[in-house]
Amino acid sequence: MQEDRRLAVLRAIVEDYVATEEPVGSKALVERHGLNVSPATIRNDMAALEEAGYLAQPHTSAGRVPTDKGYRLFVDRLTTVRPMSTAERRAITTFLDGAVDLDDVVHRSVRLLAQLTRQVAVVQYPVLSRSTVRHIEVVAMTSTRLLVVLILSTGRVEQRVVELAEAISDDGLSRLRTRLNLAAVGETIADAAAALTDLLTDEERPDAATVAAVPTLVEAMSDHRSDERIVVGGTANLARFGGSFDSAIRPLLEALEEQVVLLKLLGEATTGDTVTVRIGAEGPVEELASTSVVASGYGPGDGLASLGVVGPTRMDYPTTIATVRAVARYVSRILDES
Amino acid sequence: MQEDRRLAVLRAIVEDYVATEEPVGSKALVERHGLNVSPATIRNDMAALEEAGYLAQPHTSAGRVPTDKGYRLFVDRLTTVRPMSTAERRAITTFLDGAVDLDDVVHRSVRLLAQLTRQVAVVQYPVLSRSTVRHIEVVAMTSTRLLVVLILSTGRVEQRVVELAEAISDDGLSRLRTRLNLAAVGETIADAAAALTDLLTDEERPDAATVAAVPTLVEAMSDHRSDERIVVGGTANLARFGGSFDSAIRPLLEALEEQVVLLKLLGEATTGDTVTVRIGAEGPVEELASTSVVASGYGPGDGLASLGVVGPTRMDYPTTIATVRAVARYVSRILDES
DNA sequence: ATTGGCACTCATCCGGGCGGAGTGCCAGGC
DNA sequence: GCCTGGCACTCCGCCCGGATGAGTGCCAAT
């Protein structure tokens, strides 16, 4: 009974606070929402909610503001998923359908997310597993320096530079190339890596170039790390971010430049391909106590990479969640098709 | 005589203002610099400088602040090039020498610039001309969808997806591959593009796959545009940026996300491989009236791409200029070697 | 051409007084 | 037992006025 109303009050406070950015008081609350009770009643409820840790007062005799815990309850139990309008759906599909390659998909996704949520968007490159080796190309830059290019069936391209201990001839180069391709082409990544390593032991006298090139290749193959690149967009939306520059925005800008931190943020906030929300101090980076992350796994098949937005704890969770989910799903579908 | 002193006064004001961020008055000026005249004299000089448009007063009876014109005079005639300390030199070389490929060079350069200048750094990917085609690889994603990968001798890799009107067989695929490579490998970009285009007309009946793939390849080759990618770093340094968020920082953040605007900024501020400075409203983007750009062309051979920093008009020009120049030179050298 | 002196102008910094929004609590009503 | 109206209280934010001080502009003297 009262319990229901109290939750309604919490929801109303969150909504109003998100909209106005100002502490919300009892009177304004009853007016703006159709609560058929008096302000006094609301005050009692608010006192109870504060007691329970869902609300806080900036100072005595100011309105209430949701705490992290309050937001948590809000997103967990009070959020009804706002279905996206068909216009929005179409915006997403048309914008994303124009993409021509993986890079393009990723970059378009960031822009899209940033624009739709008016927040900072973050997209991690997807890891395309179950790919096989399509071709290995070896290019001599100088006589002791090779560029090794690995082309996978999915279109991923890895390139590495290898330094040789001794010069290699044109002939040696093309022998190296055929040998590498013979061993690896057509295999899955794991098998190819094994086959290549075998080259080192099988042969009587593996030449220097092989010795140098193989480990690099294997590393490049297993280097899904290099796929953990991250693209950030919509930083200008930080302008809407309230709060002081130094305490809120600067650490965020710093984090956005640190791929490692970003990955941690995204990773933490992602389980499977469902949308996850990390609110304020729940996360690993304490300087980011006043920011929330809404992220989702995505990718062909299962949740293999993450994408999402970063914003102030005071954000419009329902629509943000809906948008992130919609984009994640559509991007996944595109990746599945291509 | 007085003219000399007036220039000295301008220089002193610029230096003090850059250091303190506060309007500088006559008394403080004579104290902090060894000017052997009285404050009153300085006041006269300042009045003259203001009359001439080099200084401005925030409000009556406040100290003076340099105008854009004042900064211009300062960098053009009053700046003695501060040689870099050997420690700085070494920092640059060691940091940049660790780079393994082009991507790495570019990214390291941004970080380096951002750290050394404590400003926002911007580096455009260099256009590596005189590269030749090393290999063309064609990968079937589906039966009507090909991934074309172009490997250049410099290590640049371009990839494009091609949609075919009709399905292609494995056999057709490998014939396409050999034909493309036969025509293009070893040629310079320009020659290869021509040779490929010839394929379309020479043959009796060029097959559908060739028809579809060739234009894409040619486009990818001439697509130095895709080399006009830009990497930005050090955004967190915006925190030190004075001024209001909305009038100064927000437009800058927006500009930093707009590759086009950035390119215009960099391009404008670059002629040849010498360091150029664009101050405040001199530039093309009016919202960026309170920011300056210090940029330099760089690249193997001549100034083929730009790199530089963006910061408040009130910046330490001498050291910034020295740093940008040093980095540009060293990056150029690295690119020349590899 | 330079200097010291002097009057003047503003920004900035308190301290106090006021208004208003909002709360907490209590006593009465359904 | 829960809701409500009333009332006293707390503080934040705003405005005002005076004091402070840095800095200027001008003028007469050297």
Q: Transcribe A197-228 into DSSP letters.
A: HHHHHHSSS--HHHHHHHHHHHHHHH-GGGG-
Confidence class for position B72, pLDDT limits 50, 70, 90: very high
- Chain D footprint positions (protein CB, under 7 Å): 2-6, 9-12, 21-27
Q: Where in chain B is the domain with CATH 1.10.10.10?
A: 2-76
Domain span(s) for CATH 3.30.450.40 in chain A: 86-127+227-337
Report helix, strand or coil for B333.
helix
Q: Which residues of B touch A233 (CB under 8 A)?
A: 257
Residue A63: CB less than 7 A from any atom in strand C = yes
Give B154's pLDDT tier (boundaries 50, 70, 90): low
- What residue has token string 């393994």? B100
Out of B155, B159, B253, whose CB is closest to A238?
B253
Asked whether residue B51 carries a pLDDT value surpassing 60, the answer given is yes
Q: What is the pLDDT of residues B299-337, one digit of tens each?
A: 876 557 889 999 999 999 999 999 999 999 999 888 877
pLDDT number for residue B17: 92
DSSP 8-class letter at A278: E
Run means of pLDDT, 10 residues per run, chain A, 338 residues: 85 92 89 85 92 90 91 92 88 87 85 94 79 78 77 72 78 82 81 78 62 68 62 85 70 86 82 86 82 89 80 94 94 82
Closest CA to A309 of A70, A86, A116: A116
Alpha helices in A54-162 (DSSP H): 68-73, 86-97, 102-117
Are A137 and B137 inside 8 Å of each other by CB? Answer: yes
The listed CATH number (1.10.540.10, 2.60.40.10, 1.10.10.10, 3.20.20.70) that belongs to domain A2-76: 1.10.10.10
Q: How far apart are CA B186 and CA B177, in angstroms?
A: 15
d(CA A6, CA A64): 14
Mutate to test the interface with B, among A136, A238, A246, A310 (most CBs of B within 10 A): A238
B276's enclosing H/E stretch is strand B275-278
A47 touches strand C (CB under 7 A): yes
pLDDT tens profile B140-152: 777 777 778 787 7
Q: Is the pLDDT of residue B135 over 90?
A: no
Question: Does CATH place domain B130-221 in 3.40.30.10?
Answer: no
State the pLDDT at residue A323.
Answer: 95
On whether the B86-127+227-337 domain is CATH 3.30.450.40, my answer is yes
Q: Which amino acid is at A303?
A: G
Residue A141, min C-alpha distance to chain B (Å): 7
Mean pLDDT of B155-162: 74
Report d(CA A76, CA A297) in Å as an integer: 18
B91 is written with which tokens? 């920092």
Chain B residues near residue A122 by CB distance under 8 angstroms:
none
Q: Among A107, A122, A152, A253, pick the best mutation site for testing chain B contact (most B Cβ within 10 A).
A: A253
List, by residue range, all CATH 3.30.390.60 domains of chain A.
130-221
Size of interface A-B (CB pairs under 8 A): 86
- State whether A235 and B238 contact (CB < 8 Å): no
**What share of chain B has pLDDT > 90, as a percent?**
24
Residue with tokens 């730009």: B306
Q: Where is average pLDDT lowest: B14-23, B192-201, B319-328?
A: B192-201
CA distance A80 to chain B (A): 33
E strand spans, B33-92: 55-56, 65-66
Q: What's phi and psi for B95, nearest 5 deg?
A: -65, -40
Q: What is the model's pTM? A: 0.80
Distance of alpha carbon B31 from alpha carbon A213, whole angstroms: 65
Residues lying close to strand C (Cβ under 7 A), chosen from 84-123 of chain B, are none
